[in-house]
Structure 1
Amino acid sequence: MTPTVVGMALGAVLAFTALIFGFWGFLLMTLFVAVGALLGRVAEGKLDLASVRDALTGRRSSS
């Protein structure tokens, strides 16, 4: 699937969630989607958590 199709599907799911569960359900769903995406990137090896931690604490590296 292309990123456009994935984005459209995610938008539809979030819109449906907002309609059914209201604002707080929408925020909770968005949080779960973001955490799931983060964990998926880590599992695929496309995201190094040590590098993210270093960037958030102000340490930068060239690697």
Structure 2
Amino acid sequence: MNYTVAGMAVGAVLAWATLTYRFWGFLLMVLFLAAGALCGRAAEGKLDLRGIRDALTGRRSSS
């Protein structure tokens, strides 16, 4: 099992607790799954966090 799958599993476990809140629980589940997947990809080294930060702050490079 790779880090992305493990991160998604952790996000799913955290999100499961929010399911009692119906629709908002579903939205939180999606948020937690996405956050878990992003953390897992960053831990694997498949996600460039500096590139994301630069894109969000408007410092994009052409390369």
After TM superposition, the runs of 4+ consecutive aligned structure 1 residues lying more than 3 A away are: none
Aligned-pair Cα RMSD in Å: 1.9
TM-score of the aligned structures, taking structure 2 as reference length: 0.62
Segments of structure 1 that go 5 or more residues without pairing to the other structure are 1-12
Segments of structure 2 that go 5 or more residues without pairing to the other structure are 1-11
Deviation at 1:62, TM superposition (A): 3.5
TM-score of the aligned structures, taking structure 1 as reference length: 0.62
Larger RCO (CA within 8 A; separation ≥ 6): 2
User: Highest Rg: 1 or 2?
Assistant: 1
Q: How many residue pairs were aligned?
A: 46
